[in-house]
C-alpha cells in the first residue's frame, strides 16, 4: 500500500462521508484556480496546510513527501513562461512579463495541488469508487476501476519482491547487471499482470459474477455542520482575497 493510501485509511476523518471531504478539498482546489493568484494562492495554500496539519492530523513529513512531486511539476510548468521564442531579441530570450506569469502559475498550481492532497490524505479510494454508482457513473466502469486499484497494489508488491531478490543476487552490482535486472523486472511484471488477471477472472466466475461487484461500503451520512463550516471557510477565503486584492497589489 502506498503511504498516502495508508494515511487515508488511518486518518482522523476516515469515517466522514466523502462528500464532506470533497466539498472542502476540491473546493479549495477550485478556489485556488479561480481566485487571483495574489493573494489568493498563498491564502488558500496556508489554509489547506492548516487543515491538513491540524484537524486532519496528517504528519508534516508525509505532507512534504507527497507534495514534493506535484510541486516539481508546478516548477516545471512555470519555468517555460520565463522564456520567449523568436522576436527581435533573438531566437531565445527572457519574456518581458515572464517572471510575473511564472510566479502566478506557480502560486495557483501549488495551492490547487494541496487541495487535492487534502482529499487524498483523508479519503480512501475504496470509499469513493462504490459511491460513484449512486452518482450516475456506470457500474462496469466502477468495477473496472476497483479491480485495477486492487491489481495495482498487488503488482507493486510483486515488483518490490522481485527487486529485493535481484539485489540479493547482486543484480545491481554494475551497469550491465542493472540493465539486465530492469529487463527481467519488466518481463516478470508483464507475465504476472496477465496471471493475476486470469486468476481474478476465474475467481469471479467461480463466485457467480453477474456483472456487478458488490462491495460493503461503511454507512455514513453527511454532516451538515461540517458542510456548512466548509462552505463558510471557502466563502471567507473568496471574500478576503477579493477585499485585499487591491490593497496588496
Report the C-alpha gap between 209 and 148 in whole angstroms. Answer: 17
Evaluated on CA atoms 7, 12, 17, 18, the torsion sign reads negative
Q: Which of 58, 36, 164, 160 is nearest to 103 (CA)?
A: 36
Would you call 85 helix, strand, or coil by DSSP? Answer: strand
Task: Dump pLDDT digits (tens) for 93-103.
Answer: 777 887 888 88
Q: Tell me the whole-structure pTM to 2 decimals.
A: 0.76
Q: How many Cβ atoms are within 10 Å of 61's Cβ, its own excluded?
A: 9
Task: Dump pLDDT digits (tens) for 133-146.
Answer: 777 777 778 777 77
Q: Which of 90, 114, 100, 89 is nearest to 32 (CA)?
A: 114
Low-confidence ranges of the chain (pLDDT < 50): none
Predicted pLDDT at 63? 87
CB 155 within 8 A of CB 193: yes
Predicted pLDDT at 48? 92
Predicted pLDDT at 216? 65
Report the C-alpha gap between 4 and 119 in whole angstroms. Answer: 11
Predicted pLDDT at 247? 65
> For residue 196, what are the CA distances in angstroms to 122, 154, 159, 203, 226?
29, 9, 13, 10, 41
Amino acid at each position: 500500500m502506498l503511504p498516502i493510501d495508508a494515511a487515508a485509511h488511518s486518518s482522523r476523518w476516515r469515517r466522514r462521508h466523502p462528500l464532506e471531504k470533497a466539498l472542502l478539498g476540491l473546493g479549495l482546489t477550485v478556489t485556488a484556480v479561480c481566485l487571483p493568484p495574489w493573494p489568493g494562492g498563498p491564502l488558500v495554500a496556508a489554509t489547506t496546510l492548516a487543515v491538513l496539519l491540524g484537524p486532519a492530523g496528517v504528519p508534516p513529513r508525509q505532507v512534504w513527501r507527497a507534495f514534493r512531486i506535484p510541486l516539481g511539476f508546478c516548477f516545471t510548468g512555470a519555468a517555460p513562461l520565463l522564456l520567449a521564442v523568436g522576436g527581435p531579441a533573438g531566437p531565445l530570450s527572457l519574456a518581458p512579463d515572464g517572471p510575473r506569469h511564472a510566479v502566478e502559475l506557480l502560486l495557483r498550481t501549488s495551492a490547487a495541488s494541496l487541495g487535492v492532497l487534502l482529499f487524498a490524505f483523508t479519503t480512501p479510494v475504496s470509499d469513493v469508487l462504490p459511491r460513484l454508482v449512486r452518482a450516475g457513473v456506470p457500474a462496469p466502469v466502477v468495477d473496472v476501476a476497483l479491480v485495477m486499484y486492487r491489481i495495482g497494489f498487488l503488482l507493486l508488491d510483486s515488483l518490490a519482491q522481485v527487486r529485493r531478490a535481484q539485489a540479493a543476487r547482486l543484480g545491481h552490482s554494475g551497469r550491465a547487471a542493472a540493465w539486465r535486472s530492469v529487463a527481467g523486472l519488466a518481463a516478470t511484471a508483464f507475465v504476472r499482470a496477465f496471471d493475476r488477471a486470469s486468476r481474478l477472472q476465474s475467481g469471479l466466475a467461480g463466485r457467480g459474477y453477474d456483472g456487478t461487484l458488490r462491495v460493503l461500503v461503511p454507512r455514513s451520512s453527511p454532516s451538515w455542520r461540517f458542510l456548512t463550516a466548509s462552505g463558510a471557510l471557502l466563502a471567507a477565503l473568496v471574500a478576503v482575497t477579493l477585499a485585499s486584492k487591491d490593497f496588496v497589489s
